[in-house]
C-alpha cells in the first residue's frame, strides 16, 4: 500500500496505462475484425481497471477484469454467430456513417476535454483507514440496496427470457418446427429448400397451408 502513495511511480504507471487505454481504444475502430476489435476493447478496459486500482478502488478495478473478460468473449462470439460477415481473419471495414461518427467524436472530445480542464474536482485524499471492499458492500446493501436489487432482478429476468426464447426445446415442441427460411427475393421460395419433384409439390404446398 505504501508504494501507492509514492507519487512518481504511480504517475508513471498512470501515464503508461492511460496511453495503453487510449491507443487500444483507438485500435478498436482501426482494426478489420470483430474478434480483434472486441479484445482491443478488453485491453483498454483492463488498463482502466488497473487505473481504478491505483485510485484505491480495489474491488471495482479487479471486478472490471473478470466482467469485461467474459463480456468481450461473449460479445465477440455472438457477433461471429449473428453477422453475415463477422470478419474473423478476413479483413472488413469496421466503420460506417463516418461523417456523423467524426462529428460526434469531435463534439465528445471537446465536451469531455472542456470538463476535464474547467471543472473543479473535489480534493479529497483517500483516508488511511479506508476499507474499499467493506465500504462498497455497505453502500450496495445499505442505502442503494433498492436500486441494485431492482437492476439485478431486471437483468436476471432478461437472462431467463433470452434463454427461453433462444432454447430449441420449448413448451410447445421444438422451436424450429414449421419455420421456414426467408426467400432470396420478396415473396420467393424459401432459400436453401431442397428441390421437390413435380408431382409431390402441389400436394405438399396444399398441406402446408392447412397446417
Partner 1 sequence: MFSELFLPVLMVIFMLVVGGYAVAVLDRLVASALGTPQAGGIWLAPIARGAWLLIQHANATEAPDWRAWRLAPALYLALAAGGLAVVPWSASLVATDLVTSVVLWGSVEALATVVIFLHGWSANSLLALIGGYRYVALGLSYILISMFVLIGVALPAESLQFTQVVASQEGLWNVIRQPLGLPLFLIVGLGMTFWGPLNLADSTDLAGGTASEISGPPRLVWDMARAAMLVAFSGVAATAFLGGGLGPWLPGPLWMSLKMLAVLSVLLLLGRLLPRLAPERCVTLMWVVLLPLSFIDLVWAGIGALL
- Judged by beta carbon, residue 74 or residue 110, the one nearer partner 1 is 74
Tell whether residue 62 is a contact of partner 1 (CB under 8 A).
yes
Tell whether residue 74 is a contact of partner 1 (CB under 8 A).
yes
Which string of b and e fits 1-35 if b means at least 16 CB within 10 Å?
eeeeeeeeeeeebeeebeebbeebbebbeebebbb
Among 28, 73, 86, 140, binds partner 1 (CB under 8 A): 73
Tell whether residue 89 is a contact of partner 1 (CB under 8 A).
yes
Tell whether residue 177 is a contact of partner 1 (CB under 8 A).
no
Q: How far apart are CA 47 and CA 164, in angstroms?
A: 36
Residue numbers 129-168 binding partner 1 by CB under 8 A: 131-133
- Give min distance, CB of 69 to partner 1, in A: 4
Among 3, 85, 166, 179, binds partner 1 (CB under 8 A): 3
Q: How far apart are CA 158 and CA 152, in angstroms?
A: 10
Tell whether residue 20 is a contact of partner 1 (CB under 8 A).
no
Asked if 21 and 44 touch (Cβ cutoff 8 Å), the reply is yes
How many residues contact partner 1, by CB under 8 A?
A: 24
Contact flags string 91-130 toward partner 1, x per CB under 8 A: ----------------------------------------
Asked if 8 and 2 touch (Cβ cutoff 8 Å), the reply is no
Nearest to 166 by CA among 78, 90, 65: 78
Which string of b and e fits 119-141 if b means at least 16 CB within 10 Å?
eeeeeeeeeeeeebeeeeeeeee
Residues that bind partner 1 (CB under 8 A): 2-3, 35-36, 39, 42, 58-59, 62-63, 65-66, 69-70, 72-74, 76-77, 88-89, 131-133
Amino acid at each position: 500500500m505504501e508504494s501507492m502513495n509514492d507519487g512518481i511511480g504511480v504517475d508513471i504507471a498512470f501515464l503508461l496505462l492511460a496511453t495503453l487505454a487510449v491507443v487500444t481504444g483507438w485500435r478498436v475502430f482501426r482494426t478489420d475484425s470483430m474478434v480483434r476489435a472486441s479484445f482491443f476493447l478488453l485491453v483498454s478496459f483492463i488498463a482502466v481497471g488497473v487505473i481504478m486500482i491505483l485510485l484505491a478502488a480495489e474491488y471495482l478495478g479487479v471486478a472490471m477484469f473478470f466482467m469485461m473478460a467474459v463480456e468481450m468473449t461473449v460479445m465477440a462470439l455472438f457477433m461471429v454467430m449473428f453477422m453475415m460477415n463477422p470478419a474473423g481473419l478476413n479483413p472488413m471495414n469496421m466503420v460506417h456513417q463516418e461523417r456523423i461518427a467524426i462529428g460526434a467524436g469531435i463534439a465528445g472530445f471537446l465536451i469531455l476535454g472542456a470538463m476535464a480542464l474547467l471543472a473543479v474536482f473535489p480534493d479529497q485524499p483517500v483516508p488511511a483507514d479506508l476499507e474499499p471492499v467493506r465500504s462498497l458492500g455497505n453502500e450496495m446493501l445499505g442505502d442503494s440496496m433498492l436500486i441494485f436489487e431492482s437492476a439485478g432482478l431486471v437483468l436476471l429476468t432478461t437472462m431467463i427470457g433470452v434463454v427461453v426464447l433462444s432454447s430449441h426445446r420449448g413448451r410447445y415442441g421444438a422451436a424450429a418446427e414449421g419455420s421456414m427460411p426467408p426467400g432470396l427475393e420478396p415473396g420467393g421460395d424459401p432459400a436453401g429448400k431442397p428441390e421437390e419433384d413435380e408431382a409431390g409439390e402441389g400436394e405438399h404446398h396444399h398441406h402446408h397451408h392447412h397446417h
